[in-house]
């Protein structure tokens, strides 16, 4: 969690890189702002495994739920973001979701796939919009096996190693559990 612009996505991407460097497969989705002439015009959603991209939201989007000056593109969110989370949950060691926020929460498919991932046996690394309130977020935060980190200007440099370490511990414990069965 953290305020807008503090580096939540950067922390997530550095964590993904650290886990990949340890030999783990990480999939899921990432959202990035898109600027034109130094003005934010929208947000892009990208599949971490395939690189496939689509528009999460845009100021010129004609249809879809409205969040501020943007309209959410539910079609691209579902066909890129949701499919990326689903595929990661099925095929990867770790699931990454950037972000669970007001725009993404308009998609029922997104809610279902994130819930499936969180309730599954794989570590899930996600960023959360700092003001978002939702039953899915409450469920995620209330889990006994969940750790929440606040991204700040001071903490953002050390967080990727901390989060990657937690995911590594979780994966190691899961592998040991499987081997002893």
Tell whether omega for the bond before 99 is within 30 degrees of 0, i.e. cis.
yes
C-beta of residue 134 within 8 angstroms of C-beta of residue 106: no
Residues 130-161 have pLDDT tens digits of 777 889 988 998 888 889 999 999 999 999 99
Task: Report d(CA 96, CA 119) in Å as an integer.
Answer: 14
Q: What is the mean pLDDT of residues 74-82?
A: 98
Q: Look up residue 20 and give its two tokens.
A: 């990949």
Tokens found for residue 60 = 């010129």
CA distance 56 to 94: 22
Angle between helices 83-91 and 108-119 (to 10 degrees): 20
Q: Band the pLDDT of 110: cuts 50, 70, 90.
A: very high
Instruction: Return the closest-CA partner of residue 134 out of 94, 112, 159, 102.
Output: 102
Nearest CA to 20 out of 60, 48, 58 is that of 48
- Chain segment 21-55, per-residue pLDDT in tens: 999 999 999 999 999 999 999 999 999 999 999 99
Q: Could you identify the residue written with the tokens 């989370």?
A: 85
Q: Is the pLDDT of residue 176 over 60?
A: no
Taking Cα atoms as reference points, which of 119, 124, 114, 113 lies closest to residue 167?
124
Section 71-96 average pLDDT: 97
Spatial separation of the C-alpha atoms in residues 77 and 150, rounded to whole Å:
26
CATH topology of domain 8-174: Rossmann fold (3.40.50)
Give me 103's structure tokens: 């725009």
Predicted TM-score (pTM) of the model is 0.91
């Amino acid at each position: 969690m953290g305020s807008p612009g503090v580096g939540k996505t950067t922390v997530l991407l550095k964590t993904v890189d650290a886990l990949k460097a340890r030999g783990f497969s990480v999939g899921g989705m990432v959202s990035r702002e898109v600027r034109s002439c130094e003005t934010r015009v929208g947000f892009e959603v990208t599949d971490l495994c395939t690189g496939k991209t689509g528009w999460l939201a845009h100021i010129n989007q004609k249809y879809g739920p409205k969040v501020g000056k943007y309209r959410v593109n539910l079609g691209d969110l579902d066909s890129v973001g949701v499919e990326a989370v689903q595929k990661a949950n099925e095929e990867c060691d770790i699931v990454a979701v950037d972000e669970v926020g007001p725009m993404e929460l308009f998609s029922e498919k997104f809610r279902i796939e994130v819930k499936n991932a969180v309730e599954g046996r794989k570590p899930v690394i996600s960023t959360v919009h700092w003001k978002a309130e939702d039953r899915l977020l409450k469920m995620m935060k209330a889990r006994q096996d969940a750790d929440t980190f606040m991204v700040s200007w001071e903490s953002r440099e050390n967080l990727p190693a901390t989060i990657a370490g937690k995911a590594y511990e979780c994966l190691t414990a899961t592998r040991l559990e499987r081997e002893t069965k």
